[in-house]
Amino acid sequence: MPKIYVLVDLCMVPLGTATPSVSDFVAIVENKIRQSPLKSTLHSAGTTIEGPWDEVMTLIGELHEYAHEQGYARIHTEMRLGTRTDKHQTAADKVNTLESKIVKLNENK
Amino acid sequence: MPKIYVLVDLCMVPLGTATPSVSDFVAIVENKIRQSPLKSTLHSAGTTIEGPWDEVMTLIGELHEYAHEQGYARIHTEMRLGTRTDKHQTAADKVNTLESKIVKLNENK
Amino acid sequence: MPKIYVLVDLCMVPLGTATPSVSDFVAIVENKIRQSPLKSTLHSAGTTIEGPWDEVMTLIGELHEYAHEQGYARIHTEMRLGTRTDKHQTAADKVNTLESKIVKLNENK
Amino acid sequence: MPKIYVLVDLCMVPLGTATPSVSDFVAIVENKIRQSPLKSTLHSAGTTIEGPWDEVMTLIGELHEYAHEQGYARIHTEMRLGTRTDKHQTAADKVNTLESKIVKLNENK
C-alpha cells in the first residue's frame, strides 16, 4: 500500500436516514477521526485529514465500516486530495501562504 | 435563475501553469471572493460561499472569467453544495452544531 | 451572468429519504435534464452537462427547486467542472482523444 | 485495511504541466487502471473503479506514485464514492436501473 503523504478533504453523508439532518452522523464520524493519530481540521463542508496514503485511506475505510456498524446502510463520500513531490506542505501551511499573498495583493493597490 | 439559498464549498485550480504551486492563482481568486457581498470562509481545501443560487453561481462564473482574463487558460473546479427546505442553516451553524454534539458524545462516556 | 462554455459533471443525492435507494430521485432529475436543450451524458456516478455557464447553472438550480417541490427536503450535490480558453472541447471529444492516446500507448510497446 | 466493496468515481489532474491539455496524463493513468484486475468504466469526467476498499485505494495510491515517477510533480484528485450494506450493486446495475425507471416515467405520461 502506497505511503506517499496526502492531504484529503473528506465529506461523508449517509443516505436513507429518517431525517434530513445528518449532524448526528457527522459527529460520530468526526469523533472517530479525532481519536486517530492523524492530523485533521474540521470545516463546514468537510474535514481535512493529512498523513501517509495507507494510514489515511485505512482510516477512511474504517469510518465507512464503523458507520455501517452503527446502522447507516449507505454512505456517500466525496474526497478532494493532493500529493506532490516538489515540497512538503501541510494544510496549515496552505492557508498561511494564501493569507500572506492576499495581504500583499491588497498592499500593492 | 433560481434564488434558493445554497452553501457551496468551492475548490478551483488552474491547469497548465508553469509551476506546480497554485497559491498565486488561489490568492487572486480568494481576494475576488472577499470583494463580493457574499459571506465566505476559507479553509485549506477550498472556500465555502453562501447565498442565493443566482448570486453564488454568477460570482463563481465571474471568477472563472476573471482567471481566464489573468492569463489562466484552463480551470478545473470542484463544488460540494447543499440546499434544504426544512430549515435555514449557515456554514457557521453547521460547525457549531457539530462541535456541541461531539462534546456531548464524549461527556456520555 | 457569465456565458462561458462549461462542462459540468453533476452528482445529486437526496438526504433524509425513507430508504437508502436513491434511484427514484435520480430518475426524475435525469428525466428533467433530458428535457432541457442542453447536451448531457449519464454515467454510473453522475451526468455530464455542457453549455453556456448561465444556462447550465440555471438548469441545475431548477433541478434543486424541482426536487424540493417533489418533497425532497435536502439535496447534496457535487460538481466537477472545467472551462478553458485555449480550445473548444465537448465531453465526447475528451473521451475520443483519450481512447486514441491509449491505443497508441499500447501500439508502442 | 478495510475490504468493504466500494464504487469510486475518480478524476485525477496534474498541476504545473507545460500545457493546459492533460490528455497525455489521463491516458497513461487510464492505461494503468485497465491493466489492474479491477473493473472500471471511463467517462468524460473520470473513471469509475469498483472492488474491495483495500484494492481500490491501493491502486489509486499507486496511480499517484506512478504519475510522480513519470515526472508529474503535483496531482490533484477528486473521488466520489459509495458503500452500502443493504445490497450489492455494480456501476452497470446503477445505470440499468436508472434507464428502466426513466422509461417508466415517460410511459406514465
Tell me the mean pLDDT in the region D52-81.
98
CB contact under 8 A, A80 and B23: no
CB-count burial class (<10 Å; 0-12, 13-18, 19+) for D37: exposed
Write the DSSP symbol of residue B71.
T
ipTM of the complex in this document = 0.96
pLDDT for res A1: 84
User: 3-state class of A18 per DSSP?
Assistant: coil
What percent of chain C lies above the pLDDT cut of 90? Answer: 97
Q: Which of B56, B38, B48 is nearest to B2 (CA)?
A: B56
Per-block mean pLDDT, blocks of 10 residues, chain A (109 long) = 96 97 98 98 98 98 98 98 97 97 90
Tell me the mean pLDDT in the region C44-70.
98
pLDDT for res C32: 98
pLDDT (tens digit per residue) in B36-93: 999 999 999 999 999 999 999 999 999 999 999 999 999 999 999 999 999 999 999 9
CA angle (B88, A95, B15) in 5-degree steps: 95
**pLDDT band per the 50, 70, 90 thresholds, residue C109:** low
For C85, the grid coordinates are 480558453
Tell me the mean pLDDT in the region D86-105.
96
CB contact under 8 A, D78 and B78: yes
Using a cut of 0.95, tell me whether the model's pTM lies above it.
Answer: yes
Residue C69 clears pLDDT 70, i.e. is over it: yes
In a 13 Å sphere around the CA of A86, the CA atoms on its Cβ side amount to 13
Provide DSSP, chain C.
----EEEEEEEEEEES-SSS--HHHHHHHHHHHHHSSSEEEEETTEEEEEEEHHHHHHHHHHHHHHHHHTT--EEEEEEEEEEESS----HHHHHHHHHHHHHHHHHT-
CA distance D48 to chain A (A): 13
Query: How many Cβ atoms from other residues are within 10 Å of residue B3's Cβ?
Result: 12
User: 3-state class of A2 per DSSP?
Assistant: coil
- Pick among C15, C23, C77 to test the A interface (most A CBs inside 10 A): C15
Q: Which of B76, B66, B71 is nearest to B18 (CA)?
A: B71
pLDDT for res C82: 98
**The cell 430549515 sits on which residue?**
B87
Residue C24 clears pLDDT 80, i.e. is over it: yes
pLDDT for res B17: 97
Q: Which of D29, D59, D7, D63 is nearest to A1 (CA)?
A: D59
Are the beta carbons of C58 and B4 closer than 8 angstroms? no
Please report which helix (H) or strand (E) contains residue D92, including its range. Answer: helix D91-107
Tell me the mean pLDDT in the region B24-38.
98
Nearest-CB residue to C44 (from D11, D20, D91): D91
- Tell me which residues of chain B, numbers 19 to 48, contact chain A at a CB-CB cutoff of 8 Å: 20-21, 23-24, 26-28, 30-31, 34, 41-46, 48
**Is any Cβ of chain A less than 8 angstroms from the Cβ of B60?**
no
For D29, the grid coordinates are 493513468
- Chain D residues within an 8 Å CB radius of B13: 13, 15, 76
